[in-house]
Amino acid sequence: MSEIHPELSPFLARIEPLRNKAAFGAAFERYCVGMLRTYRGTPILNKLVNEQGRFLISALAFQLHLERDPAVPASGLTIARLVSLSAAHGVASGGRVKTFVALMRLGGFLEPVPGAGDRRSKVLAPTTRMLDHVRVYTVIQMRCLDALFERGYAARLAADPGFLERFHRFAGGYFLRGARLPDAFPELAVFTGVDAGYSILLHMLRALPAVAGRPRPAAIDVPHGPTARRFGVSRGHVANLMGAVATAGFVTIRGSGGKDVFVEPPLIDLAERWFAAQMALMDAAAEAAAGPGADVAAGLHGPPA
């Protein structure tokens, strides 16, 4: 396990108190349902951001966009800056970043900023399609926080045009300072390290019987063919994933082709702890984004171009 950054300690300390809250099950269920709806029937999203490496590249790209100063046309997101930032944080090689950016542009998630940069270093910006996805993802997070804490963040997101940008600036700031939540959950990589793995994890959790919204160990079916079609991957990809998950001790495969898969308690425990840690970090970022003087504290120059 990577050494845990000290800024993560307060969030990890909140995991068990959050899991003990009466509202935890409802919030966790809301998260699983919301995320699955977001990625259902959208293979391009599963391909682009539903794998940890590509998700982190896209998150760093968004952070660079948020740093753009409208008064400095050449500032913001460029491939060179994204390559440098990704390398500095050990996220991806330059070749992978460039390939990913090309896919993002092809998928309609990034576009050049007219008149910004030059032929060698074009300034890029999120398209409406990408910003809509960021907003949908953020709404899910805010509604979960509201279910847990009754903060009113979802209403703030809807009413305050700058809240979304400030929230992501504060949330992303932890990662940029080295406080990387995945470092505390290396065992989750069996899902997050492959295409659509995280969505398949949530799909499995939703298939389990639940008590007050909290899944319980049980046997479920994860049929390879239908699951592959649902999440835009191959049948062999799903079979390999389930084999790796079984090897990790998270499930016991008792049938063939994805039939009779028993989900073991450690998988549910991992998923709940991961969700609770996310909520703790997101709560801190949202609280900062909603506070007085948040624009200055976030270092935002104004609405992104």
Buried/exposed 162-176: b ≥16 CB within 10 Å, e otherwise: bbbbbbbbbbbbbbe
Between β-strands 218-220 and 261-263, what pairing exists: parallel, antiparallel or unpaired?
antiparallel
Task: Give residue-wise pLDDT tens across range 32-49.
Answer: 999 998 877 666 666 666
Q: How far apart are CA 124 and CA 122, in angstroms?
A: 6
**DSSP per-residue codes, 73-133:** TT-SB-HHHHHHHHHHTTS--HHHHHHHHHHHHHTTSEEEEEEEE-SSSEEEEE-HHHHHH
Q: How far apart are CA 44 and CA 37, in angstroms?
A: 14
Q: Using only the alpha carbons of the chain, give its radius of gyration.
A: 20
Task: Give residue-wise pLDDT tens across range 160-193.
Answer: 999 999 999 999 999 999 999 999 999 999 999 9
Is 90 exceeded by the pLDDT of residue 20?
yes
pLDDT category at 205 given cuts 50, 70, 90 is very high
Question: What separation, in Å, do the N-terminal and C-terminal C-alpha atoms of the chain show?
Answer: 39
What is the pLDDT, as a whole number, of residue 110?
94
The 3-state DSSP class for residue 157 equals: helix
Whose tokens are 């700058």? That residue is 162
The letter for the amino acid at 61 is A
Residue ranges and CATH numbers for the domains of the chain are 7-181+273-298 (no CATH), 186-271 (1.10.10.10)
